[in-house]
Amino acid sequence: MLMRTIQSNLLIEAKELGVNISASAENGISQAIAEERKTRWLKENHSALSSSNLFVEENGLPLSKYRVF
């Protein structure tokens, strides 16, 4: 696991500006987790997504004749 420390100049500026460091860190970590989950999901499901897209390219959307818009 990669461990890093927060740059001291960022901490100083955040404190000067009244930024809630803990909340900001939690938000950043949450966003990083969501992005990593998305990346892994897309990688794990690449073949299924490609197959589905190919089907639509070759055959059109299923049930498209019933679309009213």
Position 1 pLDDT exceeds 80: no
The span from the CA of 43 to the CA of 22, in Å, is 31
pLDDT in tens, 16-69: 999 999 999 999 999 999 999 999 999 999 999 999 999 999 999 988 888 887
Q: What is the pLDDT of residue 68?
A: 84
pTM value surpassing 0.75? no
Position 2 pLDDT exceeds 80: no
Closest CA to 25 of 6, 9, 12, 39: 6
